[in-house]
Structure 1
Amino acid sequence: MSLVLPSELVVDRFLPTVRAMLATRLAERDMTQREIAANLGVTQAAVSKYVSGDGGGDDRFRDDPETVATVDRIADGLASGEFDGYDALSELLSLVRTLEDRGPICDLHEETMPELEGLGCDLCVRGLDPDVRAERDVLGDVRTAARTLASSPQMADYVPNVGTNIGMALSNPRDETDVAAVPGRIYAVGRRIEIPANPEFGASKHVATAVLAAESVDSRTRGAINVATDESILEAARSAGIDPLEFEADYEDRRAHLQERFRDRGRVPRVAYHRGAFGIEPTTYVFGPAASDAAKLIVELLEAAATNE
């Protein structure tokens, strides 16, 4: 793991780019290189390199509208005498905070520390508060579940035509925006499964419906995954001591129907399924305390089904 602070990227990548941009803007406003050097706190030789285009930098900042607007504002203020060093620093600090909030600095941080990618990291903006940690843990668990499914050689045979998805809710979820899932769903491509993107909150309506129904009956059940209904999976579940729950496919309010069926059963089953209806593909939901638990059970059922063939 490479441990890189955002402030290092500000110093190494952002500041040289902004200095070069400012030097160019100030030169265009007829300021001498000595005056530019004094304002930027660099040598006159450095200003010469900046103005000639040899100063390096990162195009992500050069092309960023907020950065361009801020640099122009500072250049106008310094050239006219309306800004002093304090004013320029205030503008730059405000810009850095903006760019750290899902901006170019955040993008660079994720590139430098791949462990952050897909976490919806808000450390620079919000700090490591309990809510952020909980969201990070849920997103991480959904990614673990996706890797577990991808490692199963049987999984591709049980991805429905509409795709598979993995869902996991935060504690005490309000609606589908509190359920993390894979955007675009997971599809079978040949003998492997394709995971199109990192999980996000609010990315799935259908699997979120099942997760929310389960969590409302048993708060310990926060994960669910859908696969195609197949008798071999249901039989493998029964052999493992799991009694699959059948429910109707064509209820208009699927969440309310699932809640009612779970309450009738007295608990949330590990496996619930329907056999389809007009325009509705047969689907089986596998539940677990977390998405990774549901994925582990699916792999176990698929392996058992393959052994029994």
Structure 2
Amino acid sequence: MSLVLPSELVVDRFLPTVRAMLAARLTDRGMTQQEIAANLGVTQAAVSKYVSGDGGGDDRFRDDPETVATVDRIADGLTSGEMDGYDALAELLSLVRSLEDRGPICELHEEEMPELRGLGCDLCVRGLDPDVRAERDVLTNVRTAARTLASTPGMAEIIPNVGTNVGMALPDARDETDVAAIPGRIYAMSGRIEIPANPEFGASKHVATAVLAATDVDPDIRAAINVATDDTLLEAARERGIDPLEFDADYEDRGEHLRDRFDERDTVPRVAFHRGAFGIEPTTYVFGSSASDAADLLDALLEGSSMER
């Protein structure tokens, strides 16, 4: 029996195919071969081969709908600047894991090792710890939301002096270490949004307090963003059919107070705010089922409030 690791197939068959697909799509989108080489981590000569069709590869991946969709998404993101190398790598790693789970990589593995056929092999599937996957998904979601905020028009105007953060909880979160957020918070500098680091669990007690209060009342609400309270933003929420909840700013236990106010409503509102107190800036929370969901809502509210201004 010949021993072939799935990772060998990823390197020998999957990676050349995806690189060739990406090179072709990036060329179509106007990127130079030098730029493509820098993005793919290969030589310009290799890119030339990929573009000319001499780079090899496997049609099994070229024809796979999930692979095609992922390659198109990465090509669009790299071209527009909405993705960087980290984002592209995250997309490809997620794709590889999916293709190993009864997908083309699994099929190729059975072809290379016929002894696996009929065994219902789940070696790759078994290796995917669901807890690790949940943590990875939350971190990816928060990072995507932060990038959405950075590109949202008008966002810099509603970042409070203490900074903004976006947080998302794991399912069944118990404390702030189960909530991922941006370490150091998000700040506005010279009209630009600065994201100082990639998200981490336990990075923000402030936004985690609001998130945990929300999930206690409604487990489907697992994320929140804090911004400065702005009347035009609140009015934009009302125009979308959202009734913002006002709460007091100076409670010692903010989490308990929020839970009580949510219980009074018998729901978690998509928008909650306070008007501030001595030494406390007026703050608004935008809630969502995920960090990206909350960021998309804030984007829509800012678009609505800009029309009012």
TM-score by length of 2: 0.61
Displacement of 1:286 in angstroms is: 0.2
Specify the code of the residue in structure 2 equivalent to 1:303. E
Displacement of 1:225 in angstroms is: 0.2
| 1:224-263 matched pairs, under 5 angstroms | 224-263=224-263
1:306 and 1:113, CA in 2 relative to 1: closer, same or farther beyond 3 A? closer
User: Tell me, what secondary structure is at the counterpart of 2:219?
Assistant: coil
Aligned residue number for residue 285 of structure 1: 285
Give the conservation status (yes or no) of the 8 Å contact 2:182–2:199.
Answer: yes
CA distance in structure 2 between the aligned counterparts of 1:212 and 1:198, rounded to whole angstroms: 21
Displacement of 1:151 in angstroms is: 1.0
Displacement of 1:128 in angstroms is: 2.1
Give the conservation status (yes or no) of the 8 Å contact 2:244–2:273.
Answer: yes
Q: Deviations over 1:206-255 (max 9, x none)?
A: 00000000000000000100000010100110111100000000100000
Give the conservation status (yes or no) of the 8 Å contact 1:153–1:191.
Answer: no
Displacement of 1:157 in angstroms is: 0.4
| 1:42-57 matched pairs, under 5 angstroms | none
User: Tell me, what secondary structure is at the counterpart of 1:249?
Assistant: coil
User: Tell me, what secondary structure is at the counterpart of 1:135?
Assistant: helix
CA distance in structure 1 between the aligned counterparts of 2:236 and 2:163, rounded to whole angstroms: 22
| 1:183-222 matched pairs, under 5 angstroms | 183-222=183-222
User: Tell me, what secondary structure is at the counterpart of 2:203?
Assistant: coil
Displacement of 1:136 in angstroms is: 0.5
Give the conservation status (yes or no) of the 8 Å contact 1:168–1:291.
Answer: yes
TM-score by length of 1: 0.61
Q: Deviations over 1:107-141 (max 9, x none)?
A: xxxx9996259x9xxx9xx9420000000000011
Aligned residue number for residue 297 of structure 2: 297
Give the conservation status (yes or no) of the 8 Å contact 1:153–1:192.
Answer: no
The answer to whether residue 89 in structure 2 is matched with residue 115 in structure 1 is yes
CA distance in structure 1 between the aligned counterparts of 2:282 and 2:129, rounded to whole angstroms: 41
Specify the code of the residue in structure 2 equivalent to 1:286. V
Specify the code of the residue in structure 2 equivalent to 1:137. D
CA distance in structure 2 between the aligned counterparts of 1:259 and 1:308, rounded to whole angstroms: 32
1:202 and 1:176, CA in 2 relative to 1: closer, same or farther beyond 3 A? same
Displacement of 1:176 in angstroms is: 0.2
Give the conservation status (yes or no) of the 8 Å contact 2:145–2:292.
Answer: yes
1:113 and 1:193, CA in 2 relative to 1: closer, same or farther beyond 3 A? closer
Gaps of 5+ in 1: 9-110
Which one has the largest radius of gyration? 1
User: Tell me, what secondary structure is at the counterpart of 1:166?
Assistant: strand
The answer to whether residue 169 in structure 2 is matched with residue 169 in structure 1 is yes
Give the conservation status (yes or no) of the 8 Å contact 2:154–2:302.
Answer: yes
CA distance in structure 1 between the aligned counterparts of 2:288 and 2:90, rounded to whole angstroms: 26
1:226 and 1:112, CA in 2 relative to 1: closer, same or farther beyond 3 A? closer
Displacement of 1:308 in angstroms is: 1.1
Gaps of 5+ in 2: 1-5, 12-84, 98-125
User: Tell me, what secondary structure is at the counterpart of 1:198?
Assistant: coil
User: Tell me, what secondary structure is at the counterpart of 1:167?
Assistant: strand
Aligned residue number for residue 179 of structure 2: 179
CA distance in structure 2 between the aligned counterparts of 1:112 and 1:298, rounded to whole angstroms: 25
- Structure 1 residue ranges, 4+ long, deviating more than 2 angstroms after superposition: 111-117
Aligned residue number for residue 265 of structure 2: 265
Count of aligned positions: 199
Aligned-residue CA RMSD (Å): 2.5
Displacement of 1:4 in angstroms is: 7.8
Specify the code of the residue in structure 1 equivalent to 2:169. A
